[in-house]
Amino acid sequence: MNRRGYLVILLLGLAVSALATAGALTATLAPPTVTETVLHVACGMSFIGVGLLAWSRRPENRIGMLMTAAGFAWFLADLRYIPGSLSFTAADYAGRTLFYAIVAHLFLAFPSGHLRSRADRIITVAVYLWIGLSNLGPEAFFAAPAGGPLPDNLLAIYRDAHLHTLAGNAHQVANVALSLLVFGVVLAHWANATPPGRRALAPVCLASGPIVVAVVSLNAVGVVEQMDWLNTILPTMTPLLLMTLPFAFLVGLIRSGLDRIAVGHLVVELGETQPPGHLRDALALTLHDPSLQLVYWLDGTEGYVDAVGNPVELPARGSDQVVTLLEREGQPVAALLHDPSLEDDPWLIDAVAAAACLAVENERLHADLAAQLAEVRASRARILEAGDAERRRVERDLHDGAQQRMVSLALALRLAVDQVGTAPDEAVRRSLTVAADQLRQALAELRELVNGLHPAVLTEG
């Protein structure tokens, strides 16, 4: 929708609020006070105004549209100021509860605007069905008796004062139960969320308590007797409690705007030379996601590595992290692995990704160098292992081959010397003795060589 469309909706909201104000100030039957009228109009316009602001900033997110619809539904109750049975019937049937059904839908769909689980969808459908059918029952089949100062209800088929009271009480008890169920689901969303997810859920969590108080109070005065004091303050208290939602959401929008301003500071910070690893910390701080990972594309391996060069597999769809790719001129440079809740603000994640592309090249080179160093270390380890294995093989061959043959030859020479004994050929005996001595010396040197190829002290160390 373009700006003209948002402007038309805003002007329509102002017109509706002006008609509601005029109707309240000119009412003759139980007219509200000026304070009650101001708070009533302020509540409806706060939903419309903040809803349009959120809708215009994030058109793809349904939260702004739901909040705007809730604001218009709030003014449906003011149809009772228009004379006639048709307007009175419409106000009595939908004006009192449709607003709360839309708010329940908004709570369950926050912050993405989409209902996350099957349970959320079932509860939302049940709320809308309950609002439609439960209002129809008391007004059509258990209607109050005709007559009195109020216009006639066009939906009435069967009238019974006693059944009308019983059906109304049951309706209000069920309203309280449904509101507590929605409140419990919101708290469950909060409990199961990650830290960035809890930060995103903060507006509805802050507003859910006051709104539940408002719903319980509105239904309690119809069931429990002797609560006139509560019925007296409800027209003032209810709008104040309900306005906590748009104002809490407005605070969230302001905080989101500050996050976008922080992207500008991030660009300035990343323009300066930073030590390795600082880029990831700066991105995590800007996105408020301590679990964020920054991995780098490695051309040689056609894959991603972390800052120290270790290979990294990108998480699959539906896992605890999602992937935002960083590309330059259509080529992958790096990837951000971050919390899924950050996808609810695509502008912020895109802006941070663009800022990161400006500084990621330096860190990618560091990661590439780290990966190469890791490969060099692994290659060196393989070379050392191969050298050790080869030395063990040579040691084993010398020990089991040449050394054993030389020992055998030494024994044979010593036996030959003993056999010569005192034979007349003294020269032969001396030659054999010299050969045996030289062979023993060579055997000692060979043993020293074998032991030095793979020293035992190195193995033990």
Per the CB < 8 A criterion, the answer to whether 236 and 135 are in contact is no
Residue 219: closest CA among 202, 236, 194, 238: 238
Q: How far apart are CA 285 and CA 281, in angstroms?
A: 6
Average pLDDT over residues 442-447: 69
Most confidently predicted of 19-33, 101-115, 160-174: 101-115
Round to whole Å and give the CA distance between 200 and 252. 8
Looking at 2-33, list the stretches that DSSP marks H as alpha helix, in order from N- to C-terminal side: 3-25
Beta bridge partners of 332: 327
- Is 423 a residue whose pLDDT tops 90? no
Calculate the alpha carbon distances from 321 to 292, 317, 324 in Å: 9, 8, 10
Residue 112 phi/psi, 5-degree rounding, is -80, -20
pLDDT higher than 60, residue 458: no
At residue 369, the pLDDT reads 64
Q: What are 305's strand-pairing partners? A: 296, 311
Task: Provide the pLDDT confidence category of residue 271 given band limits of 50, 70 and 90.
Answer: low
Residue 455 above 60 pLDDT? no
* E-strand stretches of 306-404: 311-312, 322-328, 331-338
* Residues linked to residue 186 through DSSP beta bridges, in sequence order: none
Taking Cα atoms as reference points, which of 76, 78, 93 lies closest to residue 155? 93
Q: SS3 letters for 374-429? A: HHHHHHHHHHHHHHHHHHHHHHHHHHHCHHHHHHHHHHHHHHHHHHHCCCCCHHHH
The one-letter code for the residue type at 331 is Q
> Which of these ranges, 22-31, 36-45, 331-340, has the smallest mean pLDDT?
22-31
SS3 state at 417: helix
